Every structure is written in structure tokens, then in C-alpha cells.
Amino acid sequence: MDKITVYLEIGKTCSFAGALDWPGWCRSGRDETAALQSLFDYGPRYARAIQSAHQGFAPPLEIAAMRVVERLPGGGGTDFGAPEKVPSGDVQPVTADELRRQVALLRACWETFDAAASASTGSELCRGPRGGGRDLAKIVEHVLMAEAAYLGRLGGKVEVPAGADADLMHATRKAIMETLERAAQGDMPAVGPRGGQRWPVRYFFRRTAWHLLDHAWEVEDRRH
């Protein structure tokens, strides 16, 4: 069996382990050992999440099947609980075949999030020990607003008023697909009009898929 290549983003209080070839399969822990263990533990759940993409993913049977090939120093966002560093391979151009593969995986993550939200409609999500945690409507709105912000990091734009609805979600995802196509073809400048560095296409897939599955699994785990 081929090794699954993994990168680590190591912060002071939180670390992330991510599978380089499988966007969305990224988990955190208090240190790199705990993050790797969590990544391994979530392998079967990730397989279920992306099964509609038909990419032949099989979760590893042992943690030794994962090989760390890059370690990145984390920052404030890492310790806050979100991966923020771009693996070196993510700056490489995306071929047409790879773009189709990544799009299939992203669509599968959208389907998983939508299914989790739909199954939880009308249910109360469990709160944390101190009563924390967004309700379902706020989670859906948060994911949509995040995707609009991520789209901006590619160079695209969609108008997002407060409150999520199906039409707005469709418009945002359509804009993402159109912008990804242009960015993959090199039609988007690497630097924004205010000088900010835009996200590489591969990293956009990685970050967006992680965010979708992280909240899909949160909803599933908190549902009564």
C-alpha cells in the first residue's frame, strides 16, 4: 500500500495534520502526535464524506501508513483552531484532470454538509458544557459567509447579505466554480488590487473542504 503523504501545521497550543492529496481530510490536536492520531481516526468518516466523488479513497489501516513530508510553523489562526498555512505543493499549477478531481471532491464535501444540515433541520443541537455553540441556522450562515470570503481570496466576488438561503448558496457556489476555472487557467492575478496575496487554487480546495467537513461533522455530532 502506498504511503499517504501528510503535512503538519504546528502551533503553540494546537496543531493540524492534513493529507496532501485529499482536501478536507485535515484534523487538529494539541500537538503533532495528537493531530496525526485524529487524522487517522477520521479516515473512515472522510471516506464516507467523499464517497460520491468516486475517487477510490481507502482509509489507512494503521497510522504508520501516513508519512509526514512537511512541517509548517503555525500562527495565531492555528492556535485559534483553523489551519492557515499553505503547503509548498499547493502553489503548483493545476492540470485540467486535477481540477476535475478536486471539483468532484469539493462537490462531495458540499453534499455532505448539506445532508448534515438537512438531517438536523428542526432538531436542537447540543450545547457545550457552558452553553456555547452556534445553532444550525448560524452554522449554515457562517459556512456561506466563509465561502464568500474564501472566494475573495481567489479573486472572485458574490454579494452576500446577512442570512443564508438556498438561492444565495447556489449563487456563491456557482461563482466559486467559475472563478476556480479562471484561476486554474492562470487568468486571475496572484496579487489582489490592494496588494494582498491570493490563495493558490489547490489551497482554496483544501481550506474550503476542511471548513465544510469540520462543520458537517460538528452538526452530526451535536444533533440530538
Domain of 149: which CATH number? 1.20.120
Residues contacting residue 61 through CB under 8 Å, at least 6 positions apart:
1
Domain extent at residue 195? 92-222
- Pairing type for strands 15-19 and 66-73 reads unpaired
Residue with cell 512537511: 70
Checking phi first, is residue 160 left (phi over 0); if not, alpha (psi -120 to 50) or beta? beta
- pLDDT, residue 44, reads 98
H helices present in the chain, as ranges: 32-41, 43-49, 76-80, 96-120, 136-154, 166-184, 201-222
| Same domain assignment for residues 47 and 97 | no
Q: CATH code at 13?
A: 3.30.160
DSSP state of 75: -
Q: What is the dihedral of CA 100, 216, 43, 51, to 10 degrees?
A: -40
**Which portions of the chain are predicted below pLDDT 50?**
130
- 163 in the same domain as 81: no
- In the chain, how many domains are there? 2
Task: Give ∠ CA 44-50-52 in degrees, rounded to 5.
Answer: 125
Grid cell 432538531 in the structure block, residue: 123
pLDDT for 1 equals 54
Residues 114 and 66 occupy one common structural domain: no
pLDDT digits (tens, 9 = 90+) for 162-179: 655 668 888 999 999 999
What is the model's pLDDT at position 130? 47
For 197, phi then psi, to 5°, come to -75, 130
pLDDT of residue 167: 81
Identify the domain boundary among 85, 100, 133: 85
Picking from 109, 39, 32, the residue whose alpha carbon sits closest to that of residue 71 is 32
Give, for 66, the enclosing helix (H) or strand (E): strand 66-73
**pTM (2 decimals)?**
0.93
Considering 85, 116, 143, which residue would you say is the last residue of a domain?
85
pLDDT of residue 4: 96
